[in-house]
Amino acid sequence: MHRRTFLQSIAAAAMVPALGRQSGSSEWGAPVFDLHFHMRPQVASNLAHLDGAGVTKANLLTRGAALDQVKALQTAAPGRFTWFNSYDVSQADAEQVLTQAVKQGAQGFGEMKFHVAADGPELKRIYALAADLHVPILVHFQEVDHFPNEGTWSTGYAKTFESILKAYPKTTFIGHADAFWANVSADYRNEAAYPSGPIARGGITDKLLADYPNLYGDCSANSGNNALSRDPSFTSDFLKRHQNKLMFGSDCSCSDGHGGGVSQAKNPAATRLAGKCVARETLTVLKASASPAIFRKIAWDNAHTLLRIP
Ligand SMILES: [Zn+2]
Ligand SMILES: [Zn+2]
């Protein structure tokens, strides 16, 4: 029997209620918190991904008015969902809308993915607001198009983000996406979205994670998976060095937690994960590269500490 069929039949036979698994162990040997889960329109499709991938709880990334949907999910599966909110930072009412979301229960800003500079005025005021409201801000950094004319997102990470970390010491940043992860290697010059091969030690992201207590890392997406997979001799030491700073996330678009449906749409550079569940692939790399204690921190504890979840 295929492992997947086997696991599905165990799940069907056991019919473990969602509530019973809130903080217990999962198939991964520790409970799993998915920091980077884009909320889906239907309640059931959200739960299908969590349950399929063996994920205990998830942080819903939402944009704009989302409270009703978030509440419906939290009611359907109590204790399994926190949420972040995002809003177009170039709009005049961005601070007002994001403040309101936090008052309604959002525990962070994100993901912030807009065609602006990482050190531009649009994001700077949101960095300051995140500090004022004591919530973390999750930022998507990308310099290389996935498809023609996509454009860049939070541009200038490698050149300017250290100045932001210095200027906003009270803001808790969570780094994510292509430029954040490609810059674990010191030889990266924006030549590809997902560079492969051995990592040159001393990359910017490794250094910033070490030097700035206000920077955390989100391991989600093809970018995170790629960085942790391309050079196994690098990965375990990297996870050890930043064991209190890294958090598991999926950013997976598969339907069932097993790679079903459309995965990696509009991103030909990420075909290495086509047909796979990013959550499963990244949890597998983390589990193979970290001790059980470090795996548990990255998969569960760190996000709870950062989001102040009891
Ligand atoms: Zn992103
Ligand atoms: Zn998936």
DSSP calls for 90-145: TSTTHHHHHHHHHHTT--SEEEE--SSBTTSHHHHHHHHHHHHHT--EEEE-B-S-
| Structure confidence at residue 132 (pLDDT) | 98
- pLDDT over threshold 90, residue 4: no
CA distance 98 to 101: 5
| Structure confidence at residue 265 (pLDDT) | 67
CA distance 10 to 141: 40
Asked if 247 contacts 302 with a C-beta cutoff of 8 angstroms, the reply is: yes
CA distance 264 to 222: 9
- pLDDT over threshold 50, residue 64: yes
CA of 103 to the centre of ligand 1 (A): 24
| Structure confidence at residue 6 (pLDDT) | 42
| Structure confidence at residue 263 (pLDDT) | 64
pLDDT in tens, 9-28: 444 434 344 443 444 557 99
pLDDT in tens, 29-56: 999 999 999 999 999 999 999 999 999 9
**What three-state secondary structure class fits 61?**
strand
Ligand number nearest to the C-alpha of 38: 1
CA of 280 to the centre of ligand 2 (A): 7
Ligand number nearest to the C-alpha of 180: 1
CA of 142 to the centre of ligand 1 (A): 9
| Structure confidence at residue 13 (pLDDT) | 38
| Structure confidence at residue 9 (pLDDT) | 42
Report which secondary-structure segment, H or E, holds 34: strand 33-38
- CA dist 139 to 4, 202, 233, 294, Å? 34, 22, 28, 24
CA of 214 to the centre of ligand 1 (A): 19
pLDDT band at 310 (very low <50, low <70, confident <90, very high): confident
pLDDT in tens, 221-276: 999 999 999 999 999 999 999 999 999 999 999 999 999 997 666 777 788 899 99
| Structure confidence at residue 262 (pLDDT) | 73
Ligand number nearest to the C-alpha of 181: 1
Ligand number nearest to the C-alpha of 45: 2
Q: What percent of the chain has pLDDT over 70?
A: 91
pLDDT in tens, 108-156: 999 999 999 999 999 999 999 999 999 999 999 999 999 999 999 999 9
| Structure confidence at residue 17 (pLDDT) | 41
pLDDT in tens, 167-224: 999 999 999 999 999 999 999 999 999 999 999 999 999 999 999 999 999 999 999 9
CA distance 215 to 56: 25
| Structure confidence at residue 270 (pLDDT) | 80
CA of 275 to the centre of ligand 1 (A): 19
Ligand number nearest to the C-alpha of 111: 1
| Structure confidence at residue 264 (pLDDT) | 67
CA of 9 to the centre of ligand 1 (A): 33
The greatest distance separating any two alpha carbons of the chain, rounded to the nearest whole angstrom, comes to: 57
Q: What is the pTM of this model?
A: 0.91
Averaged pLDDT of the chain: 92
